[in-house]
Amino acid sequence: MEEAEVLQLYELSYPDLVLVSSNNVSLSSAEELEKLQSTSKAIMEALGPMGPGLLSITGVPNAAALRRDLLPLARELALLNPNHLKTILKDHKLGSDVPLKNPERNVSSFAMQIKYSHDFDETQLNSEHGSTVEFENLGNGFRELGFCMMELGLQLARVCDRAIGGNELEQSLLESCTAKARLIHYHSPIDKTILVKEAMSTKRTSKRPFNSSGEQIGDEHKQLSGIGSDNLWQQWHYDYGIFTVLTAPMFLLPNSAQEATEEKDEECPYPNGHTYLQIFDPIKNNVFMVKASPESFIVQVGESADIISRGKLRATLHSVARPSKFENLSRETFVVFLQPAWNKSFSITEYPMKLGMSTEIKEVDEPEQSRLTEEIQKIVPPLALRLKDGMTFADFSRETTKQYYGGTGSQSNR
């Protein structure tokens, strides 16, 4: 398949987000009022049913430093000896949603639940654990950057609520009390070589074979084959929360092609200037490669926001592609999933339920686009088959996971 067209995201400056989301706006001129109205309109156009369902936020104070400190740790953690890694994760109250013992995995993920209350006391390490110096601020880094991203999501939810009416989006986030943060390392072939070599070395002193079934994360998603799977780090899916807030990714080139060294990996410019986050636009029936500035945040709409807003926001169908001509690069990012409380119930009486992507797609003559659409439809179960009136978010997330990846799920055997 040819490389996707490029989508330059709408860039929302942080000062403008603060202005438009403030509860105490004091406008001294018609010019400021016009600025507020035009910014709110642009946000809803980007996140609404005719937009791409995502935007970027730039100029967030201290964000560049927090990103630069945390993201390189993703690869360092992924390549640690499993026993050492276990200790580090325990020290910092981190877990994982992927089988880190699998040396042939495509993705490594390190996760933490972060409270909406801005409290860092819990992250202070017990000195007797003796955590490695390079990871000494890992837990606090998670919470500090994560809380910053949660605040961005709350501010954006407030803006959307005002445009839609009511305050259900913001209130749903606050009632959940926590959000899930993930530090994600997308492996290069070099990383796999290092991990397999380590596993084989361990195997010589142990009778237990290593597991070679590939998996990855992505809102509880496994890595599965399917359309363009050889060129995807992460398969096509919708996130089922309200907003997904991501750092713009960082691409790293290891200093050694054969082994992990103490030298720091080299940060590289974006391959072809792209983030390699892809979205499928059902209105244009086409795939777009997302372009965003390296120090920005990307905010995507999830299915819960689509439902709660009664279709005034549009969930983003997306995947993560591999840069085929830059295969030695790894990709690092930090993601915060903002979800409603598990007991949040959904009413769909006023929601324009979509029976499948085909109800949104215009007829096109290009056979390549038609094939792409058909293949994506096969692996993304329609919302109408996963959502029932009165269903709680817990039930919806469970049914979504089941239909994507359960024993009879559309991607279970791919």
Average pLDDT per consecutive 10 residues, the chain (414 residues; last block may be shorter): 80 95 76 88 96 97 94 95 90 90 90 81 43 83 95 97 95 96 95 86 54 38 41 92 98 69 79 94 88 96 96 95 89 98 92 55 54 80 92 95 68 41
The pLDDT assigned to 354 comes to 60
The pLDDT assigned to 51 comes to 94
**Which of 327, 5, 7 minimizes the C-alpha distance to 186?**
327
The pLDDT assigned to 325 comes to 85
Instruction: Write down the H helix ranges in 227-359.
Output: 303-308
| 125-to-52, 90, 296, 339, 351 alpha-carbon distances in Å | 42, 10, 30, 28, 47
| pLDDT tens digit sequence for 342-354 | 999 999 888 877 6
- Dist CA 65 CA 63 (whole Å): 6
The pLDDT assigned to 230 comes to 61
- Dist CA 383 CA 356 (whole Å): 7
The pLDDT assigned to 124 comes to 45
Q: What is the pTM of this model?
A: 0.87
Burial class (CB in 10 A: 0-12, 13-18, 19+), 302: buried
The pLDDT assigned to 179 comes to 96
| 404-to-89, 285, 398 alpha-carbon distances in Å | 29, 22, 10
Q: Which CATH class is domain 6-24+34-119+135-199+229-255+264-370?
A: mainly beta
The pLDDT assigned to 375 comes to 80
Identify the sign of the CA torsion 373, 310, 344, 155: positive
| 342-to-156, 177, 323, 348 alpha-carbon distances in Å | 21, 10, 37, 17
- Dist CA 408 CA 404 (whole Å): 9
The pLDDT assigned to 408 comes to 44
The pLDDT assigned to 13 comes to 97
Contacts of 357 (CB under 8 A, 6+ apart): 282, 317, 373, 376, 377, 380, 382
